[in-house]
Structure 1
């Protein structure tokens, strides 16, 4: 099952939407910002309160 998540790029500050697949459980992955193309570190966690997606950057 895929959900839509709304995020703000930690590099350029632009807001965008991305698809999140929570069917496999918790995950860490890299996704490029669709505006500035810089890599965003994504951390997906699932608990009893729902699905949570955190976005950060390496530096």
Structure 2
């Protein structure tokens, strides 16, 4: 999974590479470094 550190806080949907179910991904960056990461399965 590639993350864009130019955006401090972001939330987006990405499909799981294994089962193809959607996952809500929420990384947080400070000074270009990852400081937090949350993910949640969006069951279908």
TM-score by length of 2: 0.71
The aligned residue for residue 27 of structure 2 is 44
> Which consecutive unaligned segments of at least 5 residues does structure 1 have?
1-17
1:6-39 deviation digits (Å, cap 9, x = unpaired): xxxxxxxxxxxx1111112210000000110000
Correspondence for 2:10: 27
Using the TM superposition, give the Cα deviation of residue 55 of structure 1 relative to its aligned residue in structure 2, in angstroms.
Answer: 1.1
Which residue is 1:57 aligned to? 41
Aligned length: 41
> What RMSD over aligned residues (CA atoms) do the two structures have, in Å?
1.8
Q: Give 1 or 2: higher strand fraction.
A: 1
State the secondary structure of the residue aligned to 2:6: helix
Q: List 4+ stretches of structure 1 deviating above 2 A.
A: none
